[in-house]
Structure 1
Amino acid sequence: MGNKIGAGIAALVFAIPLLIGAQAIGIVTQLFSSGSSAGSLTCTLDGAPNGAVPGVTAEQLGNASTIVAVGKQLHVPEPGWVVAIAAALQESGLRNLHYGDRDSLGLFQQRPSMGWGTPEQITTPAYAATKFFEHLQATPGWEQMSVTDAAQAVQRSGFPHAYAKHEDTARAIVAAMSGVRCEPPPAMPGTGTCDTIHAASPIAAKAINYACGQRGLPYVSGGGPEDDAPGFDCSGLTQASYAAAGIALPRTSRGQYAPGPRVPDGQPLLPGDLVFYATAGRVHHVGLYLGGGNMIDAPDVGQTIQIRPYRHPGDDYDGATRPAGPVGV
């Protein structure tokens, strides 16, 4: 991929579970419910027989469904989905590649060195799609451009006319995706990983996505969103994660615990909740709950930001808060 525009804030991750059969895709994506914070929507393709598009593999359709899901959530009109899918077909064959020209990665071959995000973020399809749409929406008059010109405005490729050959396929894929039928699931348990993230609200999803993008960075005492240090301490990570979602948290774990809102004892945790640890009533650590019994946190000096169980025998767990609110779900 050619020269890129710099990236903005960390982006939203959606749950994209795929049940891929021999020749068809069943459940293809999940979208946030605009009217409920209790969970996400399970969506099934109705627009083509068995969710199939001639010449398009299940892997490609799964990635296309992610792009469409992100476009829907960001209120990008259907022509923008066509642009994004055509761009991904050209850049990666609509595959989530972990290699490319120089440091290009993912569906759109975005480059960490050009400010698009960390390698882990760029190879998260929903993040990559969100960054593409952010740049597309920031392009004046993109709606009046041809598909190839709009794609080029975002991608800045050395082959500016290459996207046109994928337009018909992209339109066929979008036609299949436009018949998505959605139903709410019974629960929002979370997966406990950064590969497929369930979240009860866009705010929680943005916070989780940011935190997931910091995996592998070192624990840095006093490290936070306003520091130049290449890492975070525990509360610096959670503060930066929610700052990426538009919520300001206090700097310390004790300060973050105090304002709540608290998750009542016995109520299930939701992805995005902050989980706190205390000794003799004094809060000393905080992590970001992912679901599945796991959290992501900056554990201690000499360790890196990582996913690990939020409870273990003999721990000092002291409760949780839900900055994304509300707690009565």
Structure 2
Amino acid sequence: MNPLLALRAAELAREHIRENPGRWGCLAALLLFGPPAACVVVVVFLFTALSGASGQSAASAPGPGAVADIPADYLVLYREAARTCPGLDWSILAAIGKIETDHGRSKLPGVHSGMNSAKAGGPMQFLQSTFDSVVARHPIPPGGAHPPSRYNPHDAIYAAAAYLCDSGARDGRDLHGAIFAYNHAEWYVRKVLDQAQKYNCGAVQAPSRAAQAAITFACAQLGLPYVWGGDGPGNGDRGFDCSGLTKAAYATAGIDLPRTAQTQYNAGPRIAVTGIRPGDLVFFGTSTGHVTHVGLALASDTMVNAPDFGTPVRVDSIRRALGATRPADS
């Protein structure tokens, strides 16, 4: 359940345990019944078929943004390669592929042949020595070039999964460190986590078309700046504030919400916070008469959120919610 929060790599590592019950269920099943590979396959099937997970587990499903942006053959490779490393989500591989070469679509030197100025090559931008070392330790499954080539998408993506796994991604031990090993820069780690989050966001089965439309819109706004009173680029603002985002999200479904968090809460229909579903609005404040913040639920424990000044639209955990409403039922 969910890629990956901006400027919060350390917090993401802590939250990963709490927000990924599927992983720990997998480990429990492994202890009782069998090998890791079988357990991972079961979790991938269940989450994809039943819930469409969002977050950093190998079982997470692609969100609408991922399906629209990633070439189909690359998406298959990212998901299959991630399964070779328990705890590595496919979206991390996809985010690296996006940042490095736009999934092989970049026309820059070193993508399809030759090298760039850093001597890296191929869709995942491997140094030849690094690629050879990885392949020597982790034979690439059939389906690529003979011998394996860093320019072959199949070989490069499987090698990237193995490299990340060796560097700390296995079982989520140190995802931040694994990405940092791939490219020694904190900005790179943050960029990968942000992109992975975008690819995962919205991979949920909302209970209604209206809720699904609101979620799809909100996920497409990830990374936009927080702007006090902001109604988004469609209305001439660089970004959103919390209630501007939720209002704009439901406007895409033909539902006209009031403009502020308090008035959105008052508009209802109210539901118990114990029954939050994808698409519900989640409210925060000191009392029902003093509601100061609102987010759009992706699940019972996560939401798309325009948090505050200096922090962009992102996916956050739901903590200490004051109340919730279900505009899709209004």
Q: If each structure's helix is expressed as a fraction of its own residues, which one has the higher value?
A: 2
Q: What is the TM-score when the length of structure 2 is the normalising length?
A: 0.42
